[in-house]
């Protein structure tokens, strides 16, 4: 149902002595609000007509019921074009979402999966299964339900706790893709479980080789920051390089004056940041403020975010170099995700989700993959790391 509102712009006449204040001749704007709570009847012919016109979002129906912690409950997302060949099998995809633990990724990975399936224009059935926790019994019960409903493929953005539960269950069916985690080489899982997590260790090794002989480290005082920092220390030492200092930035820290002012040891040396984007911007701006004149500022994937351009000045980031694995893009898929208010250009978990669905889809339909650079082998995605540098308002390849 469309509600058409004409907005009348009321101007107060403020008459000056020279009578030059008059109303504009521009016609009043018309604002159209789309009410997606109303569902119009649309038979098979109507659906085919919408499909032919590429109005694929007309098939999208998401019921958003607020549950605990304001998490959105995504009921079955179902799309089926019955006019296609009867012999064409329907692809059935399930999503296991520990929504209380992964937050916004419950929504964004769903949108990433949905966008890919819509893009391919084949019969599909997508259903989400929300779980409150990642305990073994919870996952075991949901896997039984998914098998009983005969789903062929599962996308499961789990935390490490959920991965350990899956490992102990050792499910043989259906195929599972976990976009959020990358196992160590010595971890053993079922052959039907694949992982899309990025290799931070490889990224840090690349940065360590690129750094100067002396390196200063900043890290976030959280689980990821501490883990990345430990890996960085090992990598720097393996390169026979020296660490000037290793500084954990507390949650509410806003000033690094005591660490940076008159710190002559930083001049012409490298800084490695294992901090999220807000703290990284703070470090970069204060390195400029206190004239530390570092040779380079280096970071892993965690700071591949266009927000850096609004949080820093060009002089702050002119020597900023980072590693990036998001190196294949499809313009139509990007546009579709933009319409869905979903980021697959800079968010590696959403990008990893696309890779996983693409891998299964190409296998299911025996068609070429959309993504060919980052291959899945030994049950893991092997990403191609690129070095990226920040320009005045964009990321560009680093030339060295």
pLDDT at 74 over 60: no
**Cα separation of 195 and 182, whole Å?**
6
Burial 8-44 (b: 16+ CB within 10 A, else e): eeeeeeeeeeeeeeeeeeeeeeeeeeeeeeeeeeeee
Q: What is the dihedral of CA 157, 162, 164, 170, to 10 degrees?
A: -80
Domain count, the chain: 2
Is residue 136 assigned to a domain? yes
CB 214 within 8 A of CB 242: yes
Residues 226, 309 within the same domain: yes
Least trusted range by pLDDT, from 42-56, 159-173, 230-244, 303-317 = 42-56
Please report the pLDDT score of residue 172 as a whole number: 84
Whether the pLDDT of residue 73 is over 60: the answer is no
pLDDT higher than threshold 80 for residue 5: no
Average pLDDT value for the chain: 83
Q: Which residue has the tokens 């350990």?
A: 164
Please check whether residue 72 is in contact with residue 38, taking contact to mean a CB–CB distance below 8 angstroms: no
Same domain, 299 and 333: no
Is the N-terminal amide bond of 302 cis, ω within 30° of 0? Answer: no
Q: How far apart are CA 59 and CA 118, in angstroms?
A: 9
- Give the residue from 293, 324, 355 where a domain finishes: 324
Question: 48-57, 75-84, 93-102: which range is least confident on average?
Answer: 75-84
163 and 186 in a single domain? The answer is yes
50 pLDDT band, cuts 50/70/90, is low
Specify if 40 maps to a domain. Answer: no
pLDDT at residue 137, rounded to an integer? 97
**Angle at CA 202, nearest 5°, toward 201 and 204?**
65
Predicted local distance difference test score (pLDDT) of residue 122: 83
- Give the residue from 273, 363, 350 showing the smallest Cα distance to 319: 273
| Same domain? 204 vs 306 | yes
If you average pLDDT over residues 362-391, what whole number do you get? 91
pLDDT exceeds 90 at position 381:
yes
The answer on 221 and 176 residing in a single domain is no
Indicate whether 162 belongs to any domain: yes
pLDDT tens column, 145-195? 999 998 989 999 999 999 999 999 999 888 999 999 999 887 878 888 999
Q: What are the helix (H) ranges across the chain?
A: 44-52, 99-102, 105-120, 136-148, 160-169, 200-210, 223-238, 257-260, 277-289, 308-311, 314-317, 331-339, 348-365
Is 389 domain-assigned? no
pLDDT of residue 29 exceeding 80:
no
Q: What is the mean pLDDT of residues 232-249?
A: 96
| pTM for this model (two decimals) | 0.78
**Buried/exposed 172-185: b ≥16 CB within 10 Å, e otherwise:** eebbbbbbbbbbee
136 and 216 co-located in one domain = no
Question: Could you tell me if residue 19 is inside a domain?
Answer: no
Output the pLDDT for position 186: 78
Short-list 133, 127, 161, CA closest to 145: 127
The CATH number that applies at residue 258 is: 3.40.50.2300
Over residues 112-128, the mean pLDDT reads: 92
- Distance between CA atoms of residues 230 and 243, nearest Å: 12
Residue range 316-325: mean pLDDT, rounded: 96
Domain boundary among 324, 345, 362: 324
User: By the 8 A CB rule, do 390 and 308 touch?
Assistant: yes
Q: What is the pLDDT of residue 185?
A: 80
Co-location of 189 and 206 in the same domain: no
Beta bridge partners of 332: none
Range of the domain at 338: 47-197+329-382
Question: Has residue 33 been placed in a domain?
Answer: no
- Angle, to 10 degrees, between the axis of helix 200-210 and the axis of helix 223-238? 50
More confident residue, 25 or 171: 171
- Model confidence over 242-299: pLDDT tens digits? 999 999 998 888 899 999 999 999 999 999 999 999 999 999 999 999 999 999 999 9
């Amino acid at each position: 149902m469309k509600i058409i509102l004409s907005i009348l712009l009321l101007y107060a006449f403020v008459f000056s002595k020279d009578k030059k204040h008059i109303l504009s001749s521009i016609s009043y704007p018309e604002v159209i609000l789309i009410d997606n709570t109303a569902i119009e009847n649309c038979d098979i012919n109507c659906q085919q007509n919408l499909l032919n016109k590429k109005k694929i979002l007309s098939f999208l129906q998401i019921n958003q019921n607020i549950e605990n912690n304001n998490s959105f409950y995504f009921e079955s997302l179902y799309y089926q074009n019955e006019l296609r060949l009867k012999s064409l099998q329907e692809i059935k995809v399930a999503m296991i979402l520990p929504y209380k633990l992964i937050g916004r990724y419950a929504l964004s990975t769903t949108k990433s999966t949905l966008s890919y399936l819509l893009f391919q224009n084949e019969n599909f059935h997508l259903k989400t299964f929300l779980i409150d926790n990642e305990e073994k019994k919870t996952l075991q019960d949901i896997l039984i339900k998914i098998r009983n409903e005969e789903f062929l493929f599962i996308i499961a953005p789990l935390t490490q706790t959920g991965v350990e539960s899956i490992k102990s269950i050792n499910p043989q069916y259906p195929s599972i893709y976990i976009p959020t985690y990358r196992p160590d080489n010595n971890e053993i899982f079922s052959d039907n479980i694949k992982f899309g997590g990025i290799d931070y260790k490889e990224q840090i090794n690349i940065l360590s080789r690129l750094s100067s002989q002396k390196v200063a480290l900043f890290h976030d005082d959280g689980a990821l920051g501490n883990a990345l920092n430990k890996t960085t220390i090992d990598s720097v030492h393996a390169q026979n390089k020296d660490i000037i200092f290793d500084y954990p930035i507390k949650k509410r820290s806003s000033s690094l004056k005591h660490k940076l002012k008159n710190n002559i040891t930083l001049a012409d040396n490298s800084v490695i940041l294992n901090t999220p984007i807000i703290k990284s911007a703070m470090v970069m701006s204060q390195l400029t403020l206190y004239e530390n004149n570092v040779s380079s500022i280096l970071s892993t994937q965690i700071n591949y975010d266009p927000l850096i351009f609004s949080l820093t000045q060009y002089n702050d980031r002119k020597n900023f170099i980072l590693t990036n694995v998001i190196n294949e893009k499809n313009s139509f898929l990007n546009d579709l995700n933009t319409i869905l208010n979903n980021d697959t250009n800079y968010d590696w978990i959403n990008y990893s989700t696309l890779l996983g669905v693409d891998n299964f889809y190409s296998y299911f339909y025996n068609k070429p993959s959309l993504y060919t650079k980052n291959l899945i082998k030994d049950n893991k995605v092997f990403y191609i790391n690129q070095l990226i540098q920040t320009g005045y308002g964009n990321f560009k390849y680093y030339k060295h």
